[in-house]
Chains A and B, each alone.
Chain A
């Protein structure tokens, strides 16, 4: 699998993502500066977390206008896979590659803690190594992770089975208490229509090493390697 991580000014979890990818892929991913415009030959483009442009206007707004975004759109149009985590998810919604928007957390405070995610479907390349309905733990760290979309959009996302993860209890119950940032319908991550673009707020890349307290995030990256290495020729 050929993977690249896009680096915007102010992104700060690119190293975490590179470590997680290297652990699953076996080699370092390519790091792409936001002024580059060539993403040919890549299986996976990752937009990592952080504070692109300081999140000064709106989280992800300025990054979504960056030169590299044209290449990312082209990659998506080719049917390429894209993973956007945290700020990366915000950038994808600002760019219109995923629906909805991420508002300030309902309690108006930054939230840094572990959360539990219920896997809504296990037949995508991102979740193939999880169980549908299963739960995994992940760190999260954001000030604006409150997923919002209007009711028809939410209905459509659910109707098309495009909700990737929901905030849940460790036992898998989708409750209000588990939904710390106040996201609509506990949504933590969503897919594009072709299921090849995934955006999520939590950071599975920060839980791929037993030394850091667990490997709950590793199946996501292992699944990508297994899925994208096999289908490359296709």
Chain B
């Protein structure tokens, strides 16, 4: 490549004039093309978090059970019995728009590597997906490709996909969100970190060969989409789940020995970010000889190899005396194993290729002088209160419309394409409980896993919406009986250079922080995806929250399916909040008002009460009340379990449609053998609770006398995806 390195090229690489000037200062000369490439990816939004870092630092990240918070490849929490859960969620939004199948597949592959690189065997995948208007043909193509891609990769590597969420909104038309989460299990004393150590130690490359895949993917992930995105296709990486499976097994086999000093996957910006970060964290230098890098294509340049995003590769610092044993393990699994360099005491990264030094950069300034922006922001204006809204259709018709709408329709068409049982430890499969329950092999202990966010709330009030996303994740875990431990956050926002977008980010972070503190539910890992807009149209602000909780005994887990002969009890107060509700949008055709307020003290109080009831064995089924409100929650319990229900009228002081479809927070529906005992316990604890009715063999009968059969409800609920996709 004979390109001249100058400010214009730096700009093309995504560096601002100021940033390029700083590069010149650090280098004391004009950088080489490879050096410019390294600076541009390390200083990209994706790798440096330059717009978000000042805000992310304010998130609560500690608790007695947190072993490693943000800063490692994934977060690590103590789940008891000497075990650790390792988990993280990460976005693959831009690649999934350009090529939905491969974008989603490599998203799953990347997050798996973040988790097993720390020593964990991955035991569950989840994914939080947002798509555009279902009426558009392009949305259908993207949904089909993303679902196939997630299944294609996850099913093949043999990690069960157990949960997640899907929303539709026109703001995602040109910019779908694909956020993939992986959870793994490791022994607490066998956790592997990425800080390199030991001058002279070999730097080992393992996995697939390097090709010209995805060059500049990290900078692409930090740019807005324009009309030319369709032509960016060649930069998309192709996933190879078979190789990933071999890599998991080989790495875990090597991790059972004492050979590894440090290990990191080659994710965004591949060899560059892994080598720079490992050496930087360890305070050492690193020298790479690119001639030794296993290459898939002929004639690759240093620039191309340093920036390639070929998948299924890892970088390992190995103890020299264990090198041969390590090689034997990777050769057994038919994977490439190459010593491509060594650690030095220079504090520099030196890259050689064909006898020429192609890059020589001091590591400290590369990291420490990475740009950090205090982007200007403006507070999101509060929405005007919603006045009284009349009910135009009645309870039964509204329920039928709501359970059939794209945001509430059954997702079974999607789950049925994901292997949710491989591993033989899936206690509650998708749709069976508010959080998926996956047992730990050979133990009674189980994890409860969920992803949550209500983007329309975040748009209307970022702070309340951010808090609500955390609270809902906490509630979904609580509703199974599990104890919520920690979250991973995937912050999907539009262009941070616009003050109103930065205001959404700031507000959401404030809300998330407040909820994390109030619920003892810290952030242990996360990812930021900015510039999610197409031709100036921003996505809804979407801080997706992945939550993890623990159950000491998997047998204690409750699902949401209703069986006959039980009392239905509502826990939590109902004011009848219709602002930003799905009822308001789908039935009244309005997207207005402030979202439901989040009373974090009530969340904590009500949730702790519900969990106590479940763990005391008083609860047969439990479901939190969220999108669609109370009647939708009851209908979901009916559809999941197959029993009907007879509902009593709500309190006189709340209008019927506001009571049944309002989206007030901090509420749960419990199915219990004896309502009196639970109501008495609630009264004693000072938790608002009331009897809603009972479960029966037969129909769902509404308080106004309208009756709907379970089969009719299920048909309405199943219709959307099947009619759309099959």
Contact = CB atoms under 8 A, between A and B. Distances in A.
A and B touch in the complex (CB under 8 A): yes
B184 to A, nearest CB: 14
28 contacts: A9-B245, A10-B245, A12-B157, A12-B245, A13-B424, A15-B423, A15-B424, A16-B422, A16-B423, A16-B424, A20-B424, A51-B156, A51-B158, A51-B242, A53-B242, A54-B156, A54-B240, A54-B241, A54-B242, A109-B148, A110-B152, A112-B415, A112-B416, A112-B419, A139-B421, A211-B427, A211-B439, A211-B554
B621 to A, nearest CB: 15
A130 to B, nearest CB: 20
Interface string A7-50: 00110110110011000000000000000000000000000011
A220 to B, nearest CB: 14
A56 B555 CA distance: 39
B427 A212 contact: yes
Interface string B322-338: 00000000000110000
A113 B555 contact: no
B535 to A, nearest CB: 33
Interface string B149-163: 001100111100000
Contact of A141 (B243, B421, B441): B421
Contact of B419 (A10, A141, A208): A141
B333 A9 contact: yes
B138 to A, nearest CB: 20
Given A55-B156, A112-B416, A141-B419, 18 more contacts: A9-B242, A9-B246, A10-B156, A13-B424, A15-B441, A49-B422, A54-B240, A54-B241, A109-B416, A112-B415, A112-B420, A113-B416, A143-B155, A205-B424, A206-B421, A206-B422, A206-B424, A212-B425
A203 interface: yes
Contacts of B422: 12-13, 16, 49, 141, 206
Nearest to A17: B424
A205 B417 CA distance: 20
A133 B155 CA distance: 32
A111 interface: yes
Per DSSP, chain A at the interface is: mixed
Contacts of B421: 112, 139, 141, 203, 206, 212
A110 B417 CA distance: 5
Contacts of A66: none
Closest 6 CB pairs of A and B: A12-B158, A54-B242, A16-B424, A141-B419, A51-B156, A139-B421
A107 interface: yes
Nearest to A143: B155
Nearest to B417: A110
Contacts of A141: 155, 419-422
Interface in A180-234: 203, 205-206, 208-209, 211-213
B418 interface: yes
Interface residues of B, number: 34
Interface of B: 148, 151-152, 155-158, 240-243, 245-246, 333-334, 415-427, 429, 439, 441, 554-555, 726
A211 B419 contact: no
A211 B555 contact: yes
Interface in A101-158: 107, 109-113, 139, 141, 143
Contacts of B423: 15-16
B425 A109 contact: no
B245 A212 contact: no
Most chain A beta carbons < 10 A, residue from B152, B158, B419, B425: B419
Nearest to A11: B158
Contacts, number: 90
Nearest to A203: B421
B195 to A, nearest CB: 32
Given A10-B245, A19-B441, A212-B426, A107 B726 contact: yes
Contacts of A206: 421-422, 424
A112 B242 contact: no
B209 to A, nearest CB: 16
A9 B334 contact: yes
Contacts of B426: 212
Contacts of A205: 424
Residue with the highest number of chain A CB atoms closer than 10 Å, among B245, B420, B441, B554: B245
A1 B153 CA distance: 36
Nearest to A50: B158
A143 B441 CA distance: 26
B421 to A, nearest CB: 5
A141 B421 CA distance: 8
A13 B420 CA distance: 12
Nearest to A19: B424
A9 to B, nearest CB: 6
A124 B578 CA distance: 62
A218 B392 CA distance: 54
Nearest to A16: B424
A16 B441 CA distance: 10
A15 B245 CA distance: 14
Contacts of A16: 422-424
Nearest to A14: B158
A213 B441 CA distance: 16
Contacts of A203: 421
A86 to B, nearest CB: 10
A89 to B, nearest CB: 16
Interface in A63-122: 107, 109-113
Contacts of B241: 51, 54
A10 B726 contact: no
Contacts of B726: 107
Nearest to B121: A15
Contact of B242 (A56, A110, A212): A56
A93 to B, nearest CB: 20
A51 B424 contact: no
Contacts of B420: 112, 141
Contacts of A20: 424
A162 B241 CA distance: 35
Nearest to B158: A12
Contacts of B424: 13, 15-16, 19-20, 205-206, 208-209, 212
A107 B413 CA distance: 12
A112 B555 contact: no
Contact of A112 (B243, B245, B418, B441): B418
A180 B423 CA distance: 23
Contacts of A13: 158, 422, 424
Q: Which of A12, A53, A205 has the most CB of B within 10 A?
A: A12
B159 to A, nearest CB: 8
A23 to B, nearest CB: 10
A203 B419 CA distance: 12
B179 to A, nearest CB: 21
B151 A110 contact: yes
Contacts of B243: 54
A52 to B, nearest CB: 9
Contacts of B240: 54
A49 B419 CA distance: 12
A144 B679 CA distance: 52
Contacts of A56: 242
Nearest to B442: A19
Nearest to B144: A109
B555 to A, nearest CB: 6
Contacts of B242: 9-10, 51, 53-56
A49 to B, nearest CB: 8
A213 B152 CA distance: 26
B58 to A, nearest CB: 41
Nearest to A180: B416
A226 B629 CA distance: 53
Interface string A142-179: 01000000000000000000000000000000000000
Contacts of B152: 110
A107 B144 CA distance: 13
Contacts of A19: 424, 441
A109 B245 contact: no
Contacts of B429: 213
B266 to A, nearest CB: 20
